[in-house]
Amino acid sequence: MRSAIAAALVASLILSTGPVRAQAQPVDPYGDDPAPTKQKQKRKKPKPDPDRGAGQAPVDPYGDAPAPAPDPAPERGRGDGAPKDPYADAAEPAGAPPAPASTVKRRRLDVASVQGLLAVQSLDGWLLYDRAGQNPIAHQLVAPVGTPARAWFYYIPQDGEPTALVHQSEAQSFAHLAGTRVTYAGYRDLGKALKALLGAGKGAAKAKGKGKGKSKRLAIAMEYSPGGAVPSISRVDAGTVELVTGLGVSVKSSEGLVQFTKALWGPEGRVQHHIAVHHITELRKDALAWLARQVAEGKAVTELDVQQRIVRGMAVRGVDGPPPVVAAGEHTADPYYVPTAARARAIGKGDLVLVSLAARTASEDGIYAAATWVAYVGDVVPQRMASAFEVVALARDEAIALITDRTKRRRAVRGADVDQAARGFIAKANLGERFVHRTGHALDSDLQGVAADLDDYEVKDARTLVVGSGFTIGPGVYFDGEYGVRAEVSAYLAQTGLEVTTPKQEQIEALLAR
């Protein structure tokens, strides 16, 4: 754990004014070729390769409609010279847009495993419910075909076969499910059918009841959070909860079940996550290198220009995600700023730039990767910015150290505990009031995942971090109207300990450092 001496040192750094010279960005051997400088133009040109053609400029895969390169000689069989994405689906025709990840359904609900979890958690069953997509957890786990708009239930008892209760007009959407299927025609039938569905388990509940012939209320899990304490789990509307409890059933939160089903990445999910990490890392490198070239050459460039370059790159690479955050200057003080045509500002020398990316592959096992990077358009980072970033980077490392230490000693760690560790470190640097969001959030097939969040600020997330799940770790501090910095990485909790999966930034990158 960090000592109070370290915190005092950080606090003193914030008050100092001397310049800090950042290291130049290392050369990426696989990155885009930099634009030629005047010095390079004076060098003796190499002899052209007759097989490749002379004087061809490198193709920018993310640029605006570049002119097509000349066709190569047919006898050489060189192809069209366009860059190939090694992760693209070979079956897709060139230039085809990737399938949006939001349309991919994950068929990972293992009934036998769920029943084991029900026994461990002393639950009689899990009642998954959705209507018109209002419960994305149930929708992704059950994965109905198409987009059913009417109410449906999928009940998994602790013992016996599961049962789907669905509208008769949408029955085929649930034909793939294990167990039996019951249909209803209208609201007059729904209540009776639901009562019969849950009543089927009362015999087993009675046998487990204590006392002389006394039966206990069925304990049924639903996507419900008492008092709305965990918003990511609170998906079933109050009226439906009332309908179920009115049938003599006790509704419990399914948060534990959800953490061990939807939230777990699985082996293929880990692979897909690392592919997404590769793509967002390369997209970030390309965007900042391009920004540096534009500024160095005196060309106008805005936040929106950089963002749209990343968006085009995501399409080329076949990954899907929300519009990236590209903020400059005072806009970096807004943690959730996203540039638009109406409010995007120009980026120039002396501006701090924050780029936050999140994406996943289109695979049905795709898992999001997310990361934030901070850069300065200049060669020397101002001391106040460098010191503020050092604080959040150390707070991030404090959170990582807590998780690593607890898991090494086989002790449970709650999401709220991690947030407290990062928040406490920042508070020691007298910047606690500048940290205005949680430390991190869960990652799975959704960017805002359903496992434990690193949060004791927006909500108190007392859930334990689960082996096999992942999350972001990203504390930040923000000075209204001036600037803000954040040090965000993605991480995975493996059986062997915590794995940080994205590059860990240690200092602000100086884009024009020589």
DSSP codes of every residue in 143-184: --SS---S-EEEEEESSS--EEEEEGGGGGGGTTSSSEEEEE
The alpha carbon of residue 193 and the mean position of all alpha carbons in its chain are separated, in whole angstroms, by 39
Q: How far apart are CA 494 and CA 499, in angstroms?
A: 7
- Residue type for position 198: L
Residue 117 pairs with which residues in a beta bridge?
none
Helices 238-245 & 187-199 angle (0-180, nearest 10): 60
End-to-end distance of the chain based on CA atoms, in angstroms? 36
The alpha carbon of residue 43 and the mean position of all alpha carbons in its chain are separated, in whole angstroms, by 46
* Spans of all domains in the chain: 111-259, 265-510
CB of 330 within 8 A of CB of 482? Answer: yes
Residue with tokens 């009417």: 150
Q: What is the pLDDT of residue 45?
A: 42
Q: How far apart are CA 228 and CA 209, in angstroms?
A: 30
Question: For the whole model, what pTM was predicted?
Answer: 0.78
The β-bridge relationship of strands 325-328 and 352-361 is antiparallel
Residue with tokens 């409890």: 245
CB of 151 within 8 A of CB of 190? Answer: yes
- How are the residues of the chain apportioned to helix, strand and coil, as percentages rounded to the nearest 5? 35, 20, 50
Q: What is the pLDDT of residue 514?
A: 78
CB of 412 within 8 A of CB of 452? Answer: no
CATH code for the structural domain at 265-510: 3.90.230.10
Residue 270 CB coordination number (10 Å): 18
Q: How far apart are CA 124 and CA 208, in angstroms?
A: 10
Q: How far apart are CA 380 and CA 426, in angstroms?
A: 24
- Host H or E run for residue 509: strand 509-510
Residue 167 pairs with which residues in a beta bridge?
184
Residue 285 pairs with which residues in a beta bridge?
none
The β-bridge relationship of strands 442-443 and 509-510 is unpaired
Residue 348 burial class via C-beta count within 10 angstroms: exposed 0-12, middle 13-18, buried 19 and up: middle
Residue 421 burial class via C-beta count within 10 angstroms: exposed 0-12, middle 13-18, buried 19 and up: buried
Residue 485 pairs with which residues in a beta bridge?
477
Q: How far apart are CA 274 and CA 501, in angstroms?
A: 7
Q: What is the pLDDT of residue 217?
A: 87
Q: Which two tokens stand for residue 21?
A: 């010279």
443-452 burial code (b ≥16 CB/10 A, e <16): bbbbbebbbb
Q: What is the pLDDT of residue 63?
A: 55
CATH code for the structural domain at 111-259: 3.40.350.10
Q: How far apart are CA 300 and CA 102, in angstroms?
A: 35
Helices 415-428 & 4-15 angle (0-180, nearest 10): 50
- Contacting residues for 424 by C-beta, under 8 A, at least 6 apart: 398
Q: How far apart are CA 494 and CA 501, in angstroms?
A: 11
The β-bridge relationship of strands 163-167 and 509-510 is unpaired
The tens-digit pLDDT sequence of the chain (514 residues) is 444 434 443 444 333 333 333 333 443 433 444 444 433 334 344 444 434 344 444 545 555 544 444 444 433 333 444 444 333 333 433 444 444 444 444 445 889 999 999 999 999 999 999 999 999 999 999 999 999 999 999 999 999 999 999 999 999 999 999 999 999 999 999 999 999 999 865 544 544 554 455 567 899 999 999 999 999 999 999 999 999 999 999 999 999 999 999 999 999 999 999 999 999 999 999 999 999 999 999 999 999 999 999 999 999 999 999 999 999 999 999 999 999 999 999 999 999 999 999 999 999 999 999 999 999 999 999 999 999 999 999 999 999 999 999 999 999 999 999 999 999 999 999 999 999 999 999 999 999 999 999 999 999 999 999 999 999 999 999 999 999 999 999 999 999 999 999 999 999 999 998 7
